[in-house]
């Protein structure tokens, strides 16, 4: 399909209170152009990306202006025009769980909206996914976060669009995998108009297109941000401390028809922050799920304060369940879409006698966000809401999966400072991450070398 042209004129998007969330006087994107949107978390990048396709989050409305795709008004389109627009364009949310029905198999998900048979499978293979019969029979929960994101992109590309809009496509990927994936991404989108939302300075450079900064709902052309990345010295794994929070005793985990991960022997002491590092797909998310009883291990045990935990969460007593909190990489899996986020946070704060205002301030979450539903928040805001819910519970052990993957450096630093305060108060924290700045601030690092 031919590449699409976009034009934005005098666009103003407001929330339920009437406050402006996005103001774009003029923005034009030529057919085949690559446009990169950068800026702080919550600045309006995702709102703008969605608005280009006429898809605003709940609670937002356009009060003036227009957005056109190939001359078609995407904001005021009729039902017939919407169907046509969806055949010409695609959007991939930064939370792959939003796009993938959890009970469908990967083979079905990649092919069900394809413009022609086999196109979704073709793009899955082009994006480096291990496309074979057994893998295609998996469900989204059996994939790593990075793999789910690639499946969502393959699914979107299967409609053969002229416009591709991607929100944080490399979030949750280690640097080497992100670099290789960017090359694949640029290859499969060649000849199409590409709009890409990212906080990743390296990716913004490698895309090689025009860069626009979004800040407080306003846009400005900008020079590419610095791509400098500091790599810390490797820290030795933590040995058993005087007080054991969480421990893995010869733990081995696996998915069907894949090589097992382990055996793993490690300790996360009370009052420490331990990084769980490794390449995308190495098993970091699976290990965290095993710790909370959502993925029973093949062999070995998970221990809390020296005592064994039942392999399955349904077999654990309430005291054990309440002692561990998991913040998944996909914030869509942690938040009820129909419930305002403040409703849950206020209940947790009351039940656990925790200062909600302080937790929100520490995580740079404005109190005005509490009356919104998850769909009206950016991906980075949803991540921090899910983390706030976990911190308000005051668990003995906190397991966090890629907490800074979609955040700018300032917000990322605030999140890490909150984790450090929680550990100082006695929580044992295990953070799955590939980011050098996160690893550098942890007390120790546990590295997984598998690829399952």
- Residue 242 has what pLDDT? 45
**Beta pairing partners, 7:** 28, 68
- Residue 96 has what pLDDT? 67
Q: Is the dihedral of CA 138, 141, 146, 148 positive or negative?
A: positive
Burial of 400 (0-12, 13-18, 19+ CB in 10 A): buried
Q: Which helix (H) or strand (E) holds 301?
A: strand 299-304
- Contact criterion met (CB below 8 Å) for 100 and 109: yes
* CATH superfamily name and code, 6-221: P-loop containing nucleotide triphosphate hydrolases (3.40.50.300)
- Residue 422 has what pLDDT? 94
Parts of the chain belonging to CATH 3.40.50.300:
6-221, 244-447
Give me the residue label for tokens 């002491």.
Answer: 269
Q: What is the distance between the alpha carbons of residues 236 and 224, in angstroms, rounded to a whole number? A: 35
The token pair that represents 35 in the structure block? 């446009």
Nearest Cα residue to 45 out of 12, 22, 16, 62: 22
In sequence order, the 6+-apart residues with CB closer than 8 A to the CB of 201 are 224, 225, 226, 227, 228, 229
Torsion on CA atoms 357, 363, 364, 367, rounded to nearest 10? -30
- Residue 400 has what pLDDT? 95
Q: What is the distance between the alpha carbons of residues 195 and 223, in angstroms, rounded to a whole number? A: 17
- Residue 257 has what pLDDT? 65
54-71 b/e (C-beta count within 10 Å ≥ 16 → b): bbbbebbebeebebbbbe
- Residue 240 has what pLDDT? 40
- Residue 111 has what pLDDT? 92
Q: What is the distance between the alpha carbons of residues 127 and 124, in angstroms, rounded to a whole number? A: 5
The token pair that represents 72 in the structure block? 């078609």
In sequence order, the 6+-apart residues with CB closer than 8 A to the CB of 415 are 363, 384, 387, 403, 404, 407
- How many residues comprise the chain? 452
Backbone angles phi, psi at 403, to 5 degrees: -70, -20
Backbone angles phi, psi at 161, to 5 degrees: -80, 155
Tell me the CATH architecture of domain 244-447.
Answer: 3-Layer(aba) Sandwich (3.40)
Backbone angles phi, psi at 177, to 5 degrees: -65, -40
Burial of 432 (0-12, 13-18, 19+ CB in 10 A): buried
pLDDT in tens, the chain (452 residues): 678 888 999 999 988 888 888 999 999 999 999 999 988 878 888 889 888 888 888 788 889 998 888 888 888 777 777 778 877 888 888 776 677 888 899 999 999 988 899 999 999 998 888 888 888 999 888 887 778 888 988 998 898 889 999 888 887 676 777 777 788 888 888 888 999 998 777 778 778 788 888 888 888 765 444 433 232 233 334 444 446 799 999 899 887 767 788 888 889 999 999 999 887 778 888 899 999 999 999 999 999 999 999 999 999 999 999 999 999 887 776 788 888 899 999 999 988 888 899 999 999 998 888 988 888 888 888 889 999 999 999 999 999 999 888 788 888 889 999 999 999 999 999 999 888 778 888 888 888 865 44
CA angle at 100 for the pair 94 and 106, rounded to the nearest 5°: 125
- Residue 234 has what pLDDT? 31
């Amino acid at each position: 399909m031919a590449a699409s042209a976009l034009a934005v004129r005098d666009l103003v998007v407001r929330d339920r209170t009437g406050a402006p969330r996005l103001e774009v006087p003029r923005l034009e994107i030529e057919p085949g152009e690559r446009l990169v949107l950068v800026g702080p978390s919550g600045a309006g990048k995702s709102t703008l990306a969605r608005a280009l396709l006429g898809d605003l989050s709940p609670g937002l409305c356009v009060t003036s202006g227009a957005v056109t795709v190939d001359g078609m008004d995407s904001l005021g389109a009729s039902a017939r025009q919407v169907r046509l627009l969806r055949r010409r364009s695609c959007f991939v949310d930064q939370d792959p769980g939003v796009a993938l029905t959890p009970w469908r198999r990967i083979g079905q998900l990649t092919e069900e909206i394809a413009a022609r048979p086999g196109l979704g499978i073709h793009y899955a293979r082009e994006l480096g996914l291990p496309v074979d019969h057994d893998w295609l029979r998996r469900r989204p929960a059996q994939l790593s976060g990075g793999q789910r994101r690639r499946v969502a992109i393959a699914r979107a590309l299967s409609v053969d669009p002229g416009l591709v809009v991607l929100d944080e496509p490399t979030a949750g990927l280690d640097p080497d995998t992100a670099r290789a994936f960017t090359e694949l991404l640029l290859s499969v989108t060649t000849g199409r108009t590409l709009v890409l939302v990212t906080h990743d300075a390296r990716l913004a450079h490698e895309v090689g297109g025009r860069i626009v900064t979004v800040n407080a709902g306003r846009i400005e052309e900008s020079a590419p941000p610095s791509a400098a990345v500091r790599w810390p010295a490797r820290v030795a794994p933590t040995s058993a401390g005087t007080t054991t929070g969480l421990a893995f005793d010869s733990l081995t985990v696996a998915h069907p028809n894949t090589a097992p991960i382990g055996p793993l022997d490690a300790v996360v002491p009370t009052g420490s922050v331990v990084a769980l590092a490794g390449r995308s797909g190495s098993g970091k998310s699976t290990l965290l799920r095993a710790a909370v009883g959502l993925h029973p291990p093949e062999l070995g045990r998970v221990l809390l304060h020296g005592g064994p935990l039942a392999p399955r969460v349904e077999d654990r007593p309430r005291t054990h369940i309440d002692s561990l909190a998991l913040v998944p990489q996909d914030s869509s899996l942690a938040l009820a879409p129909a419930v305002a986020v403040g409703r849950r946070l206020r209940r947790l704060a009351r039940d656990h006698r925790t200062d909600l205002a302080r937790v929100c301030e520490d995580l740079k979450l404005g109190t005005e966000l509490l009356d919104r539903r998850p769909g009206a928040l950016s991906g980075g805001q949803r991540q921090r809401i899910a983390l706030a819910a976990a911190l308000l519970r005051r668990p003995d052990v906190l397991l966090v999966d890629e907490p800074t993957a979609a955040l700018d450096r300032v917000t990322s630093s605030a999140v890490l400072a909150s984790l450090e305060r929680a550990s100082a108060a006695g929580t044992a924290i295990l953070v799955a991450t590939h980011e050098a700045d996160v690893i550098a601030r942890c007390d120790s690092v546990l590295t997984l070398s598998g690829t399952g």
